[in-house]
Amino acid sequence: MSVTSSTDIGNLALDLLTAGTVLDIENPQDATESLLNRWYDVTRRKLLREHPWNFASKRAILAASSEDPAFGYESQFLLPTDFVRLNSIVDAEGFVIGNESYEIENGYILYSAEAGQLRIKYVYDVTNVSKFDPLFVDLLAIDLAMAIAFKVTSSNTDVSRLVELRKQRAAMSKAIDGQERPPTRRQVSRARTARLTNTIANSHRVIFDD
């Protein structure tokens, strides 16, 4: 059976709990459907934030805000409305900019240099189940089952079993997803390199007293 809806994922979660099936969690008509409806979206977004999933990654060029940060940074950029997690910021040549140059605060990326635009790669808020990676579907079903397990079965045993299953599946899923990502090219800060070089040189300097 192909998985094409949140209800399908809800039923996979219930399978893990041997707790029957439901018809529609988006328009709930009973207690189990309402429970799945309550937990589905927050669990999906939580799992998206956990890992830079390839299927949920996209790129954007952000325009600088007309207002500069109050202090500490030179420019700021409003995050996209579908933003879930930042993967990286890249320069015009495709090199990743180190995280010492920015921070995320109050829906903006604050950036240490004056810039008119910022190139970012990020995880977006994917809601279309047909676009989910099968590995993500599997983990989402497990996480959803964990979220509702005690309410549905009143059993701590089910929760413990799912926790162990989750550890195994998460490690495998994230490893496979990571293998399909190209190596990262990182930007090297000349000033930072100079400071590090100077520090290393000083740490090996021998001083002789007269």
The amino acid present at 210, given as its one-letter code, is D
For residues 2 and 21, the answer to whether their CB atoms sit within 8 Å is no
pLDDT of residue 9: 98
The per-residue pLDDT for 188 is 52
At residue 31's C-alpha, the angle toward residues 28 and 33, to 5°, is 40
pTM for the model stands at 0.85
Predicted confidence (pLDDT) per residue in 51-69, tens digit: 999 999 999 999 999 999 9
Segments of the chain scoring below 50 in pLDDT: 189-210
pLDDT attached to residue 187: 58
Specify the residue for token string 């929760």: 159
Decide: helix, strand or coil at residue 121. strand
Compute the distance between CA of residue 79 and CA of residue 175 in angstroms, rounded to an integer. 28
The first and second tokens of residue 208, run together, are 């002789």
Which residues neighbour 64 within 8 Å (Cβ) at sequence distance 6 or greater? 75, 76, 77, 115, 116, 117, 118
Residues 6+ apart with CB under 8 A from 182: none
Long-range CB contacts (within 8 A, 24+) of 97-106: 97/187, 98/186, 98/187, 98/189, 98/192, 100/189, 100/192, 102/73, 103/73, 104/79
